[in-house]
A and B are shown apart, each in its own frame.
Chain A
Amino acid sequence: MRKIAVLYSGHAPHYVTFNTPKFKQYFEKIIYLPRFVEEDLEGMDVLIVPSQLHNKLLLEAAPAIRRFADNGGVVVAFGPQPWQWIPGQNWETRPTNFWWWLEKDADSGLRIVAPDYPLFRDGFLDEAGCTWHQHGVFHLQEGVQSLIDMKDGGSLLYVDKVSSKGTWIVTTLDPDFHFGSYFMPATEKFMDGFFPWLAFGEI
């Protein structure tokens, strides 16, 4: 089992999500962001950077997070990314349609484009488990692999094995916020599959 650390902002949705026993069992360390120091990452294999972190603290932590990936670690980033801190980050904010499933001929616009990637191939996640709403997309550089696209362009989830010695797994999806706010049951399904994949799956 990989050793997974997660940054924790101290706000209510994160408190609930990271302390729910079925998710907490996957975390070797829950690191309170205001007290984060680089040594916290020693011995860790994976670092989860959740959505909705305090901007200044995130940007202060970013160089250490990038060094973690440069040394071979796996960094996972959830949610909208209005601040530039991810290698090659090319984020576009888009209006969020919270209620798309109530429309006629509803289509979230989300498409799995790498069904053979182990996350999907090995049964950890399917399209339904990734489907709620989006806050924007990423436009990818060459060599970076998108796993989920939007039908009108841009990536919702990608894996970057070229910008560092390690791996960046970046998604605009924000399950940590919604589950902890008692909203959007699909976000629970996402984490039911995603955390076991990080712990045991082929990345």
Chain B
Amino acid sequence: MSEYKIVKLDGGHAFSLEGRAMNVSNEPMDHVTFIDQYEISTADLSGFNVMVVTDFIDQEHLYEHKQVIENFLNEEKIIIANTHIFRPWLPGSGLFMPKEIKSHADYVMEPAAEGTFYEGVDMMELTYRKGVSGFYARGSHPVVNKESEIVLQFTDGTPIVFIDRTATKGTVVAASCRDFLTYATGENSTQLIAPQFLAWLDQELLSLKEGSEA
């Protein structure tokens, strides 16, 4: 049985209709509870152990309520940020820097290690969509803590996805790429990302639990 109980902030924008929150696959997310972004400071978050923040979320509001984020993390929970961060509301992550591009090949990515949730994903299928480069990621967040684990990077080594377990008691996934949870369908290897990421969440929650009991 899954450990994760995911809450996803909803930007209330045109692309989020039907709770899809810019879902690439337009598949419903039955395993995710959506709350309006402006309810973050008043909603009861105690029933959730994972929070997902994506594009179209008001980061001025998040920054004003960064204590909510910090409290959530200090309860040994996980925050996933799949967006370009421009206010310092997320512990462990720097602010977004766009990639300097001289050629479309500059958007090519690689996993930074074996056995991550990108296992089996063809990086060319992830980098290019219908021949267009850079659909998945166009920049990075500087790593604040050197202990952070880099998961995905551009081939020049700048990080796209990293995991920080040192800034708080919880786990931060800082990702300047598209929403992991939307990569569940499709006709190529990128559909592996969502199920492998969900499995990783279970494992990470278990580690957080074991860590707190140790």
The interface of chain A, by Cβ under 8 A from chain B, is 9-13, 15-16, 32, 34, 51-57, 79-82, 98-99, 102, 135, 181-183
When chains A and B are docked, how far (Å) is the Cα of A16 from the Cα of B87?
Answer: 12
The interface of chain B, by Cβ under 8 A from chain A, is 11-15, 17, 36-38, 55-61, 83-86, 96, 98, 129-132, 134, 138-139
* A9 with B98, Cβ < 8 A, contacts A79-B14, A80-B14, A99-B130 known: no
- B14→A12 contact, CB < 8 A: no
**How many residue pairs bridge A and B at CB < 8 Å?**
77
Contacting residues, chain B, for A51 (C-beta < 8 A)? 14
What's the minimum C-beta distance from A187 to chain B, rounded to whole angstroms?
14
- A15→B13 contact, CB < 8 A: no
What's the minimum C-beta distance from B21 to chain A, rounded to whole angstroms?
12
Q: Which of A34, A52, A99, A183 contacts B56 (CB 8 A)?
A: A52
* A12 with B83, Cβ < 8 A, contacts A52-B56, A54-B58 known: yes
* Chain A residue at smallest Cβ distance from B96: A12
Contacting residues, chain A, for B58 (C-beta < 8 A)? 9-11, 34, 54
Mostly helix, strand, loop or mixed at chain B's interface? Answer: loop
- B59→A54 contact, CB < 8 A: no
15 contacts between A and B (CB under 8 A): A10-B58, A10-B59, A10-B60, A11-B56, A12-B55, A12-B59, A12-B84, A15-B59, A34-B58, A34-B61, A52-B11, A52-B14, A99-B130, A99-B131, A181-B55
- A82→B96 contact, CB < 8 A: no
- B13→A55 contact, CB < 8 A: yes
Contacting residues, chain B, for A55 (C-beta < 8 A)? 12-14
When chains A and B are docked, how far (Å) is the Cα of A32 from the Cα of B38?
Answer: 14
